[in-house]
Structures are given as C-alpha cells and as structure tokens.
C-alpha cells in the first residue's frame, strides 16, 4: 500500500498552507503531509462521531461530596477556639508535687 493515493482530497479540511502546497504541486513531501493531515482530521471526526457519550457527570476535585477547603478551614478554626475556651475554663493547678521534698 502506498502512502500517496489518487483519491481526491477534500480541501475544506486543509490549512491554507497545505492547500497552496497541494495545488501548485510543491514537492512530494508536502503533498504527503497535506494528505496525512486531511486523513487524520477525517479520522478524528469519524471517531468522535461514533464515540460513546458520557453517561455520568464528573466534578473536578473532591467529587462533589464536600463543600471545599473553606469549610474545612472553618471547622479547624472552630476546633481551635473550642480548645482554647476549654483550656481557659480549667482551674489553675497547684505545683505541690515537689513540696514533699521540702523539709
């Protein structure tokens, strides 16, 4: 099977540069490049037309179950405030454990 075919090329799929190269017959390599691009584009279109559509929706990141980083930061702030409140409510401890060594 040769890389160059005699089938007509649909010029709608080619860039302006490739069209001009193909029309003026500019070199074998440029024609092959133009044909390959057209073939690749048509193949990509055919693949996308037959591709199975997605049936489930996806959300980026956490998957949509959490409210995000702001809620986590708020929870951590509340935990920190609760801990500092609990520490402030504790009675002062006497350091009498070392008094047994005094006289």
Q: Residue 1 — pLDDT band, cuts 50, 70, 90?
A: very low
Residue 58 lies in a domain: no
Overall average pLDDT of the 68-90 stretch:
90
If one counts the domains in the chain, the total is 1
pTM, two decimals, is: 0.32
Look up the domain containing 37 and give its range: 11-50
Residue 55 lies in a domain: no
What is the 8-class DSSP label of residue 50? H
As a whole number of angstroms, the distance between CA 16 and CA 18 comes to 5
Residue 76 lies in a domain: no
Per-residue model confidence as pLDDT tens digits over 2-29: 444 556 677 787 888 877 777 665 556 6
Q: Angle CA(26)–CA(28)–CA(31) in degrees, nearest 5?
A: 70
Q: Residue 51 — pLDDT band, cuts 50, 70, 90?
A: very high
Task: Say whether pLDDT at 101 is over 80.
Answer: no
Residue 6 lies in a domain: no
Overall average pLDDT of the 31-39 stretch:
82
Residue 90 lies in a domain: no
């Amino acid at each position: 099977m040769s890389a160059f075919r005699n089938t007509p090329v649909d010029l709608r799929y080619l860039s302006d540069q490739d069209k001009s190269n193909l029309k003026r017959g500019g070199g074998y390599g440029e024609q092959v490049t133009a044909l390959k691009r057209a073939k690749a584009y048509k193949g990509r279109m055919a693949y996308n037309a037959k591709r199975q559509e997605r049936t489930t929706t996806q959300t980026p990141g956490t998957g949509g179950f959490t409210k995000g980083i702001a809620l986590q930061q708020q929870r951590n702030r509340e935990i920190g405030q609760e801990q500092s409140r609990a520490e402030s409510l504790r009675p002062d401890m006497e350091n009498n454990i070392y008094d047994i060594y005094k006289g």
